[in-house]
Amino acid sequence: MKIADVRKRAFAMPLTSPAFPPGPYRFVDREYLIITYRTDRAALEAVVPEPLTFDDPIVKYEFIRMPNSTGFGDYTESGQVIPVSFNGKKGGYTLAMFLNDGPPIYGGRELWGFPKKYAQPSLSADKDTLIGTLDYGPLRVATGTMGFKHKALDLKEVAASLAVPNYLLKIIPHVDGTARILELVDYRLEDVTVKGAWSGPAALDLRPHALAPVADLPVREILSATHILADLTLGLGKVVYDYLKPGKETAS
């Protein structure tokens, strides 16, 4: 293969059979259980990277069911998102995500910088309860429950909440183990159609684990819970801060 051919074909690894296809990436019937809770300020200060800031020590714990996604297939995801601000714009910083499918792990990490690791999350309804779980290996590290569709929410307000900036810390190492790419990435959810959204009573249990440290942001108070069903496109995003070349980033 000629050098020009390598440059032309290169999109993702492996060169001759990429682990995921080029986008756009459309999700149909994406289902969320989002439990918002208050945690310890010191715990958040230890994990939120500058130049992101936060006002209140709030965390959104998410269980997301994705049965129909372009190129990535059928999978489930779970993790923590922290409400933050960047240059005065409010958004969410994804701290950690755990999922059970290879292509969205590879694509999520390589394209956007999603902090994804392999685990076994689930989201389903059992009679009157919506149940989300996360298992890392044989151990249960997170359990979220919510009353099923207790109160319908305003769909326009929910759609607006999904349209806020989302921030990721993208890290790609050099061959010597140092950071070759170290960037703050801003991505958005696009062409969002909210099919339904509900609130209800909720509970969240987080258990300590060395490699899935969701319990490092302990639950002090449950603030709300939301169940959402939507179609959307995952935008590719842009770099808004380069830790290795400060001042070269784009405006958010």
Question: Distance (Å, rounded) from C-alpha 252 to C-alpha 230?
Answer: 26
Q: How many CB atoms lie within 10 A of CB 152?
A: 10
> Which residue in this structure is represented by tokens 């490699």?
211
Q: How far apart are CA 76 and CA 14, in angstroms?
A: 24
As beta bridge partners, residue 37 has 59, 222
Dihedral, CA atoms, 34, 81, 250, 174, nearest 10 degrees?
-130
2 is catalytic: no
DSSP state of 250: P
> Closest by alpha carbon to 200, among 122, 124, 130?
130
What span, in angstroms and rounded, lies between the C-alpha atoms of 24 and 164?
A: 19
Q: Which residue has the tokens 């939507």?
A: 230
DSSP category for residue 48: P
Of these residues, 116, 149, 170, 245, which one is catalytic?
116
- Give catalytic residue positions: 116
